[in-house]
Amino acid sequence: MERFAQLIRIVASAASLLAAGCSTDETSLAPEVRFATLAGQTVATSDLRGKVVLVNFWATSCEVCVHEMPMMTETYRKFAPRGYEMVAVAMSYDHPNLVAGYVQKQALPFKVALDLDGGLARSWGNVQATPTSFVVDRRGRIIKRYVGEPTAAELNAVLEKALADPA
């Protein structure tokens, strides 16, 4: 049943993008927000300028999200030495204890933030479907939006191109 509900959320989000005339390739500035990480850090979007960043909205109850995390971990390890950062934002309906347990069990190497009141999801275009990810270039511009799991090859190609741009 959860899988069906997840599919409905993804279809609804895609339909709203199409109705709004939005493509999955963005050119707008990333919103200025502050991420509160499980490690106790507060990181603002502006703090990440100069790096290529993936902001990934996910939930422990989302099968697709859980499926993509090993690929996200591998991608992070591959590109972090070249100026890549990732912030995985747990949705507001995801209990912090479940998130912390998952992060510890999977030894996620990137920043994981909690969106306790849904404000981060609203700031990033009212994200409702998980996973939804945004690739942000060194200048702070959203250059790609994924609703659903990207393929490793496509994500790697987008990151390679963005990391090659010295800004």
Cα–Cα distance measured from residue 119 to residue 10, given in angstroms and rounded to the nearest whole number: 20
Give the pLDDT of residue 5. 43
CB-facing half-sphere around the CA of 53: CA atoms within 13 A? 26
Distance CA(63)–CA(48), nearest Å, equals 29
- The architecture that CATH gives domain 2-164 is 3-Layer(aba) Sandwich (3.40)
Helix (H, G, I), strand (E, B) or coil at 82: helix
Tokens at residue 125, please? 């275009």
Contact criterion met (CB below 8 Å) for 34 and 44: yes
Task: Flag residues of the chain having pLDDT under 50.
Answer: 4-24, 26
**Tens digits of residue pLDDT in 111-138:** 999 999 999 999 999 999 999 999 999 9
What are the beta bridge partners of residue 136? Answer: 53, 142
pLDDT of residue 2: 53
Per-residue model confidence (pLDDT) at position 166: 83
